[in-house]
Amino acid sequence: MFNSSILLKEYNLKVTPQRVAIVDELYKNGHMNVDDLYKNLLEKFPSISLATIYKNINAMVEKIFLNEVKIPETKSVYELIKEEHSHLVCSSCGKIEDIMIDTSVLQSSLLKQSSFKVQSSEVIFTGVCENCQNC
Protein backbone atom coordinates (compact mmCIF):
# COMPACT_ATOMS: atom_id res chain seq x y z
CA MET A 1 0.00 0.00 0.00
CA PHE A 2 1.15 3.50 -0.78
CA ASN A 3 1.90 5.67 2.23
CA SER A 4 2.91 9.23 1.68
CA SER A 5 4.02 9.86 5.26
CA ILE A 6 6.54 7.07 5.09
CA LEU A 7 7.79 8.36 1.78
CA LEU A 8 8.30 11.83 3.22
CA LYS A 9 10.10 10.47 6.26
CA GLU A 10 12.39 8.36 4.13
CA TYR A 11 13.52 11.51 2.40
CA ASN A 12 13.93 13.48 5.60
CA LEU A 13 11.05 15.80 5.05
CA LYS A 14 8.79 16.65 7.95
CA VAL A 15 5.35 15.20 7.55
CA THR A 16 2.85 18.02 7.28
CA PRO A 17 -0.76 17.76 6.13
CA GLN A 18 0.03 19.91 3.10
CA ARG A 19 2.90 17.72 2.02
CA VAL A 20 0.90 14.57 2.52
CA ALA A 21 -1.84 16.06 0.38
CA ILE A 22 0.58 17.03 -2.38
CA VAL A 23 2.06 13.56 -2.53
CA ASP A 24 -1.36 11.93 -2.38
CA GLU A 25 -2.66 14.07 -5.21
CA LEU A 26 0.30 13.20 -7.36
CA TYR A 27 -0.07 9.55 -6.52
CA LYS A 28 -3.75 9.64 -7.40
CA ASN A 29 -3.46 11.67 -10.59
CA GLY A 30 -0.11 10.59 -11.89
CA HIS A 31 0.93 13.97 -13.25
CA MET A 32 -0.14 17.44 -12.35
CA ASN A 33 1.00 20.95 -13.07
CA VAL A 34 1.38 23.54 -10.34
CA ASP A 35 -1.98 25.17 -10.97
CA ASP A 36 -3.96 21.96 -10.89
CA LEU A 37 -2.25 20.97 -7.69
CA TYR A 38 -3.07 24.34 -6.21
CA LYS A 39 -6.71 24.19 -7.23
CA ASN A 40 -7.16 20.70 -5.84
CA LEU A 41 -5.43 21.45 -2.57
CA LEU A 42 -7.48 24.58 -2.06
CA GLU A 43 -10.45 22.34 -1.38
CA LYS A 44 -8.79 20.68 1.57
CA PHE A 45 -6.76 23.71 2.66
CA PRO A 46 -8.66 26.88 1.81
CA SER A 47 -5.75 29.02 2.90
CA ILE A 48 -2.90 27.07 1.35
CA SER A 49 -0.48 29.29 -0.48
CA LEU A 50 1.07 28.88 -3.89
CA ALA A 51 4.39 29.56 -2.20
CA THR A 52 3.92 26.44 -0.11
CA ILE A 53 3.30 24.40 -3.21
CA TYR A 54 6.36 25.75 -4.95
CA LYS A 55 8.57 25.31 -1.90
CA ASN A 56 7.47 21.76 -1.41
CA ILE A 57 7.70 20.77 -5.02
CA ASN A 58 11.20 22.15 -5.15
CA ALA A 59 12.15 20.35 -1.97
CA MET A 60 10.79 17.07 -3.31
CA VAL A 61 12.52 17.48 -6.63
CA GLU A 62 15.79 18.12 -4.80
CA LYS A 63 15.35 15.04 -2.67
CA ILE A 64 14.79 13.22 -5.93
CA PHE A 65 11.50 11.61 -5.36
CA LEU A 66 9.62 13.99 -7.61
CA ASN A 67 10.33 14.58 -11.26
CA GLU A 68 9.52 17.50 -13.50
CA VAL A 69 8.34 16.53 -16.96
CA LYS A 70 8.65 19.23 -19.59
CA ILE A 71 6.06 18.70 -22.25
CA PRO A 72 6.00 20.45 -25.62
CA GLU A 73 3.42 23.23 -25.88
CA THR A 74 2.25 22.95 -22.27
CA LYS A 75 3.17 23.59 -18.71
CA SER A 76 5.47 21.24 -16.90
CA VAL A 77 3.93 18.50 -14.84
CA TYR A 78 5.30 16.73 -11.82
CA GLU A 79 5.22 13.03 -11.05
CA LEU A 80 6.46 10.75 -8.31
CA ILE A 81 9.57 8.96 -9.43
CA LYS A 82 9.14 5.30 -10.26
CA GLU A 83 10.61 2.95 -12.86
CA GLU A 84 11.76 4.66 -16.04
CA HIS A 85 8.93 5.14 -18.47
CA SER A 86 7.86 7.22 -21.41
CA HIS A 87 4.95 9.61 -21.83
CA LEU A 88 2.05 9.86 -24.20
CA VAL A 89 0.52 13.30 -24.45
CA CYS A 90 -2.84 13.72 -26.15
CA SER A 91 -2.86 16.86 -28.25
CA SER A 92 -6.63 16.89 -28.17
CA CYS A 93 -7.57 16.51 -24.48
CA GLY A 94 -4.18 17.06 -22.90
CA LYS A 95 -4.22 13.81 -20.99
CA ILE A 96 -0.83 12.34 -20.14
CA GLU A 97 -0.33 8.60 -19.93
CA ASP A 98 2.67 6.61 -18.81
CA ILE A 99 3.93 3.78 -20.92
CA MET A 100 6.70 1.26 -20.49
CA ILE A 101 8.86 1.12 -23.56
CA ASP A 102 12.32 -0.29 -23.81
CA THR A 103 14.44 2.63 -24.98
CA SER A 104 17.73 0.78 -24.80
CA VAL A 105 17.58 0.11 -28.54
CA LEU A 106 18.00 3.82 -29.06
CA GLN A 107 21.07 3.90 -26.89
CA SER A 108 22.65 1.07 -28.83
CA SER A 109 22.20 2.91 -32.07
CA LEU A 110 23.48 6.07 -30.44
CA LEU A 111 26.63 4.27 -29.35
CA LYS A 112 27.42 3.44 -32.97
CA GLN A 113 27.67 7.06 -34.05
CA SER A 114 28.68 9.03 -31.01
CA SER A 115 30.75 8.78 -27.88
CA PHE A 116 28.21 10.67 -25.83
CA LYS A 117 27.77 8.93 -22.48
CA VAL A 118 24.09 8.69 -21.70
CA GLN A 119 22.91 9.19 -18.14
CA SER A 120 19.18 9.35 -18.73
CA SER A 121 16.69 9.63 -21.51
CA GLU A 122 13.34 11.23 -21.94
CA VAL A 123 10.83 10.11 -24.55
CA ILE A 124 7.57 11.91 -25.18
CA PHE A 125 5.05 11.00 -27.82
CA THR A 126 2.47 13.53 -28.85
CA GLY A 127 -0.64 12.24 -30.56
CA VAL A 128 -4.27 11.31 -30.05
CA CYS A 129 -5.37 9.11 -27.18
CA GLU A 130 -7.84 6.26 -27.56
CA ASN A 131 -10.74 8.29 -26.19
CA CYS A 132 -10.23 11.23 -28.49
CA GLN A 133 -9.95 8.98 -31.53
CA ASN A 134 -13.62 8.11 -31.08
CA CYS A 135 -14.93 11.65 -31.30
Question: Rule CB under 7 A: which residues touch DNA?
Answer: 9, 13-19, 34-35, 45, 47-52, 54-56, 58-59, 75-76
Q: Which of 13, 132 has the CB closer to DNA? A: 13
Q: Which of 70, 85 has the CB closer to DNA? A: 70
Chain Cα centroid distance, residue 35: 14
Interatomic CA distance for residues 94 and 84, integer angstroms: 21
Interatomic CA distance for residues 36 and 31, integer angstroms: 10
Residues in 47-86 at the binding interface with a second copy, rule: CB under 8 A: 68, 70-73, 86
Q: Are 103 and 123 in contact (CB under 8 A)?
A: yes
SS3 81: coil
Which residues lie near a second copy (CB under 8 A)?
Answer: 68, 70-73, 86, 88, 90-91, 97, 99-103, 105-107, 109-110, 113-130, 133
